[in-house]
Amino acid sequence: MAENRSVAPGRSGDADEFVRMEDVVKIFGDVVAVQSVNLVVHRHEIFALLGSSGSGKSTLLRMLAGFEAPTSGRIYLDNEDITDLAPYRRPVNMMFQSYALFPHMSVEANVAFGLKQEGVPRNEIHERVFEALDLVQMAGYSRRKPHQLSGGQQQRVALARSLVKRPKLLLLDEPMSALDKQIRQKTQIELVKILEQVGVTCVMVTHDQDEAMTMADRLAVMTEGQIVQCGMPQEVYAFPNSRFVAGFIGSTNLFTGTIVVDEPDHVLIESDELARPLYVNHGVSEPLGMQVHVSIRPEQIRVARAQPEAESNWSRGVVSHVAWMGSHARYQLRLDSGAMVEAAVPSLVLAHADAPGLDDEVFISWSSDSATVLAS
Amino acid sequence: MKKPSLGRWLPKPRHLAIVPPFVWLALFLLLPFLLVLKISFADLQFGIPPYTPLAQVRDETLSLSLHLRSYALLFTDSLYIATYLNSVKMAAITTVCCALMGYPMAYYIARSRPGVRNVLLLAVILPFWTSLLLRVYAWVGILRNDGLLNSVLLSLGIIDAPLEIYRTDLAVYIGLVYAYLPFFILPLYANLVKLDLRLLEAAYDLGARPWQAFLRVTLPLSLPGVIAGAMLVFIPTVGEYVIPEMLGGADTLMMGRVMWTEFFNNTDWPMAAAVTCAMVTLLLVPLVLFQYSQVRQMEMRGRND
């Protein structure tokens, strides 16, 4: 638990714990889908489980919904042990990946389904259904059948259906995966606005790091059934704790080197891939002489024609590819050592400088606070 | 503005593709039916064929004679009306029994693991590898007063006197349900196996217990399969001849038997033809309903894609 406790709370500013998973393990036959996960989600927070397929993130979500029972471990929701509760008894609702709207029912009947099961009086059902449909701006479509709606409209109805019962916990399973790329970003922001308006605690599963960064207050990166890092998106992006996380959250350049100077306020790392040593302006826990990995984000790499004057933190290379992205240009550079480096150069910088072109000799450099030292 | 032109009425090459099935249906369905329809409006006579011709030229006069005797008899003789009602009743009860027994079976097969599923499906289809006649004979052996069922029950001391099942309506029901159950299971299975299980999870998630999810999601979505199965059982059962003949008593009135009697015992071809025409009309109604539901289902699926 300790590693999660140190993490700052979400934007609600309210740190009380709402969902707690304790040593949760799930084994299917001889496959370990989830191994010993400890996780705390705070009240009113949007929490993202981020990982590629097979990382165990969906299994974790299905255990929160009650569709899978953990092999061992306990799950608590609002201080209540829900581990053995059937899905229809949990105050938890889920928006399914492809929405799973009932095809034989109208939009209104889909949203009313959960309230009817609860035995809510008829006029209250009507009121709450339209309240929920208003929230997602779908009230005008109440008589339509799901197949008469676009993907985005179906998603709104699915959201209304999962919110209408006022669940304590909302689960989103790959909420944007069935939408076109163009409308994804807009929908992500709208969805967050609706969730904040309702004030529901939300756990979402996604394989898309942009989606997790855009929507989540905090996220957990999963691989091979384990949480490898948990924290706020900007925190995880800036301070990844492993090569896996550094590569998974955004793109990065990784160098392998050895610590040659280990001081409390700085370290020097020599890498065969770089012409000059890496100077990092903070101490690290790894000992002298240890082989470490260093991650430098593409946007932190400067590209210039002139050789830097500093003793460290630069290398020489040749431009092998330039991709114009509009706001910036992505440079692929081949260093003298043969290592490939990616650099994102802002368009404004490019316009002022004498922009290097294909096959030009260039120097890359970075500041001493932009490198992250990774032991694994 | 469309110009009237001959081209509109000439077949386009792509329309030629549907000519073979049309020719087939015309030759083997429409033509025989028209012949039967013709015979149903004839009168009895001795000779070959044993009915009067429809059109005759005598003394330079073409006379068309439509005899309504058979139809008049059909609607006035209580035997025929009772037979129709009884046939429909027996077919309906058979269909309901098939649905009650077939739904759980189809559901179980559809929810089994794929390996088990194929074995179970094979078990449903397997009886078709033996002739229906043989299978019905086997039922005679089981249900007779001195048959397998009664000997077992007597030797176990459950009953003192043999049960009179053979040659009763009950025996006919047993035979009909046995013979037509696969026709209900197979289309329903094909429907149930396609059901998106996430819909059930969504129902549980929204607070439905498993039986509520079944009633509100699985059952309504499987209705097209139920209708297809019911039609495949109901329609052939109405005209069934072999099973009531072999298992039923003398008082088991079914259309197939009446037709047989009129045709072979009474040599009353026009009457047999009239009974047939009436039965076809009777069966057309459920057939049209069946077709309608199929088309609607296909339209739904088309819009979903």
Place of tokens 């240890």: A290
C-alpha atoms less than 13 angstroms from C-alpha of B86 in its C-beta half-sphere: 20
The one-letter amino acid code at A148 reads Q
CB < 8 Å to A97, chain B: 198
Place of tokens 């150069």: A345
pLDDT of residue B53: 85
**Within an 8 Å CB–CB cutoff, is residue A147 touching chain B?**
yes
B160 in helix, strand or coil?
coil
pLDDT at B305 over 60: no
Do the bridges between strand A291-296 and strand B61-64 make them parallel or antiparallel, or are there none, so unpaired? unpaired
Same domain membership, residue B279 and residue B162: yes
Same domain membership, residue B126 and residue B91: yes
In angstroms, rounded to a whole number, what is the distance separating the alpha carbons of residues B268 and B261?
Answer: 9
* Residue B25 within any structural domain of the chain: yes
* Residue B300 within any structural domain of the chain: yes
Q: How large is the C-alpha radius of gyration of chain A?
A: 25
**Within an 8 Å CB–CB cutoff, is residue A119 touching chain B?**
no
Residue pair A257/A291 in contact (Cβ under 8 Å)? The answer is yes
Mean pLDDT, all residues of chain B: 89
pLDDT of residue A287: 83
Closest CA to A8 of A225, A218, A318: A218
Torsion of CA B128, B131, B134, B140, to 10 degrees: 50
Measured in angstroms, the CA of B208 and the nearest CA of chain A are apart by 6
* Residue B1 within any structural domain of the chain: no
* Residue B272 within any structural domain of the chain: yes
CB-nearest to A67 from B201, B208, B300 is B201
Same domain membership, residue B130 and residue B165: yes
Q: Contact A117/B207, CB-based, under 8 Å?
A: yes
pLDDT at B254 over 80: yes
**Within an 8 Å CB–CB cutoff, is residue A59 touching chain B?**
no
Q: How many CB pairs under 8 A join A and B?
A: 60
**Alpha carbon B134 to its chain's center:** 20
Q: Contact B220/A104, CB-based, under 8 Å?
A: yes
Same domain membership, residue B83 and residue B52: no
Same domain membership, residue B113 and residue B249: yes
Same domain membership, residue B61 and residue B148: no
In angstroms, rounded to a whole number, what is the distance separating the alpha carbons of residues A166 and B239?
Answer: 57
Per-residue pLDDT tens, chain A, 376 aa: give them. 334 433 443 334 445 789 999 999 999 999 999 999 999 999 999 999 999 988 999 999 999 999 999 999 999 999 999 999 999 999 999 999 989 999 999 999 999 999 999 999 999 999 999 999 999 999 999 999 999 999 999 999 999 999 999 999 999 999 998 888 888 888 999 999 999 999 999 999 999 988 999 899 999 999 999 999 999 999 999 889 888 999 888 888 999 999 998 888 888 999 989 888 888 888 888 888 888 999 999 999 988 888 888 888 999 999 999 888 888 889 999 999 999 999 998 887 777 767 788 888 999 999 988 888 888 7
* DSSP code per residue over A126-145: HHHHHHHHHHTT-GGGTTS-
Domain count for chain B: 2
pLDDT of residue B7: 64
Q: Which of B32, B48, B67 is the last residue of a domain?
A: B67
**CA separation, residue B229 to residues A358, B95, B112, B241, B280 (Å):** 70, 9, 20, 20, 19
The residue that leads in pLDDT, A21 or B3, is A21
Surface of A (74-103) touching B: CB under 8 A: 86-88, 92-94, 96-98, 100-103
In angstroms, rounded to a whole number, what is the distance separating the alpha carbons of residues A345 and A362?
Answer: 13
pLDDT at B95 over 60: yes
Same domain membership, residue B259 and residue B207: yes
**pLDDT, tens digit (0-9, with 9 covering 90-100), for B102-161:** 999 999 999 999 999 999 999 999 988 999 999 999 999 999 989 999 999 999 988 888
pLDDT of residue A47: 96
**Within an 8 Å CB–CB cutoff, is residue A181 touching chain B?**
no
Same domain membership, residue B186 and residue B101: yes
CB-nearest to B221 from A86, A104, A165 is A104
* Residue B2 within any structural domain of the chain: no
pLDDT of residue B196: 93
Query: At B245, which CATH number?
Result: 1.10.3720.10
* Residue B108 within any structural domain of the chain: yes
**Within an 8 Å CB–CB cutoff, is residue A29 touching chain B?**
no
Q: Which of B51, B67, B83 is the last residue of a domain?
A: B67
Write phi, then psi, for B60 (nearest 5 degrees).
55, 25
Is the peptide bond between B49 and the residue preceding it cis, with omega within 30 degrees of 0? yes
Parent domain of B23: 14-67
pLDDT at B54 over 50: yes
Measured in angstroms, the CA of A228 and the nearest CA of chain B are apart by 29
Same domain membership, residue B218 and residue B142: yes
Residue pair A292/A258 in contact (Cβ under 8 Å)? The answer is yes
**Within an 8 Å CB–CB cutoff, is residue A69 touching chain B?**
no
- What lies within 8 Å, CB to CB, of A304 at 6+ separation is A353, A362, A363, A365
CB < 8 Å to A161, chain B: 206
Same domain membership, residue B138 and residue B52: no
Same domain membership, residue B30 and residue B88: no
